[in-house]
Amino acid sequence: MKINKTSWLLPGIATFLLAACNKDNDNFLYQEHVLPITIRGYNATQEPLTVKVDTITLSTALEASFAESGAFTFKGDQDVVKLNISEKNTGKLVLEKEYKKGDDAAALSFLYMDGKVSDMPEKPAVVADKISLVYMFMPNVTNYSEPVDIVIGKYFVTPKVFEEITRIRNVKPNEFSQATTISTFTTGKQDYNGVMTSVSFQVRIYKAGTNKPYVDGTAYTWNDISTSAPKPVSSAASSKLYIFSEFPSGSSMRFNTRLDY
């Protein structure tokens, strides 16, 4: 799922821009200040969120992944503006921020899940020939509650060998992991101990401190070829943040990517 990006312009900014073109309006320019606003993140609930800046409620609701941008114009002697985010259907206040006329910008980045707001982590910058990954694992079907290791590696099909590259240890369900970085690599046919074999990029979920799939002991199985947490293309540099949940097919565990950011 990709982030949907939209932008908006609150009433008053058009007047400001017109005034900026008029050399006789210097006093007016000193009285007004434009505050750029960006709001991005992920709403993991079924409740759309509404954004209100001062007295203006934006028409676009925040659902699933979102990225909104716009601006607010302080007019006259107005020195403070409030930005409120609330559940559209219940009116429950989710987040409230106050900004002053002298502030350079208003930038919000948050996750809304289980009725609570938390910060969205910063992704590492993209580095040549490197892949950086941040995960949140949501075991919404098995309700697995213990920490897991997120293990990143290559699977060699013919000898049926999984080769670990690195692992993110002790990741708690429904919480963001630490970032990890690996080098890019190619897949396709490769030699493995004298045997030509297909290679795939895989991300496995193990019980913490073990090499056992976390689904061991449940009604579900881990398929060596088709079960993997979300991951980018292995051959290109990238920096990715994924939120993913369980989405089994029959008895075989699969995953649904809820946020690809």
Question: Is there a domain that residue 240 lies in?
Answer: yes
* Residue 111, in any domain of the structure: yes
- Point out the domain boundary residue: 119, 150, 169: 119
In a domain, 179, yes or no: yes
Give φ, ψ of 31 to 5 degrees.
Answer: -85, -20
User: Using one digit for the tens of pLDDT, what is the confidence trace for 96-123?
Assistant: 999 999 999 999 999 998 889 999 998 9
Q: Are residues 115 and 25 in the same domain?
A: yes
Global pTM value: 0.77
Domain-embedded: residue 125? no
* 138 and 255 share one domain: yes
The pLDDT of residue 234 is above 70: yes
Last residue in a domain, options 119, 149, 164? 119
| Domain around 229 | 130-260
Number of domains, the chain? 2
Residues 57 and 154 in one domain: no
Residue 190 and residue 214 in one domain? yes
Share of the chain above pLDDT 90, in %: 78
163 in the same domain as 81: no
Asked if the model's pLDDT at residue 47 lies above 50, the reply is yes
139 and 250 inside one domain: yes
Please name which of 244, 241, 223 lies closest in space to residue 232, comparing C-alpha atoms. 241
Over residues 187-206, mean pLDDT: 93
32 and 89 in one domain? yes
Sorted by sequence, the CB contacts under 8 Å of residue 170 that are 6+ apart come out as 147, 148, 149, 208, 209
Residue 2 banded pLDDT, cuts 50, 70, 90:
very low
Q: Is the pLDDT of residue 175 over 70?
A: yes
Q: Are 28 and 34 a contacting pair, CB within 8 Å?
A: no
Q: How confident is residue 3, by pLDDT bands cut at 50, 70 and 90?
A: low
CATH number of the domain to which 92 belongs: 2.60.40
CA distances from 241 to 28, 71, 123, 261 (A): 44, 27, 7, 5
* Domain final residue pick, 98, 119, 140: 119
217 and 190, same domain (yes or no): yes
- 140/191 same-domain check: yes
Q: Both 77 and 195 in a single domain?
A: no
- Residue 27 falls within a domain, yes or no? yes
* Per-residue pLDDT band at 17 (split at 50, 70, 90): very low
DSSP characters over the chain: -PPEEEE---TTHHHHHHHHT-GGGHHHHHH-EEEEEEEEEEE-SSS-EEEEETTEEPSS-B-EEEEEEEEEEE-TT--EEEEEEEETTT--EEEEEEEETT-S-EEEEEEEETTEEEEPPPPPPP-TTEEEEEEEEE-TTT---S-EEEEEEEEETTTTEEEEEEEEEEEPTTSBPPPEEEE----EEEEETTEEEEEEEEEEEEETTSSSBTTTTSS-B--TTT-------TTS-EEEEEEEEE--BTTB--EEEEEE-
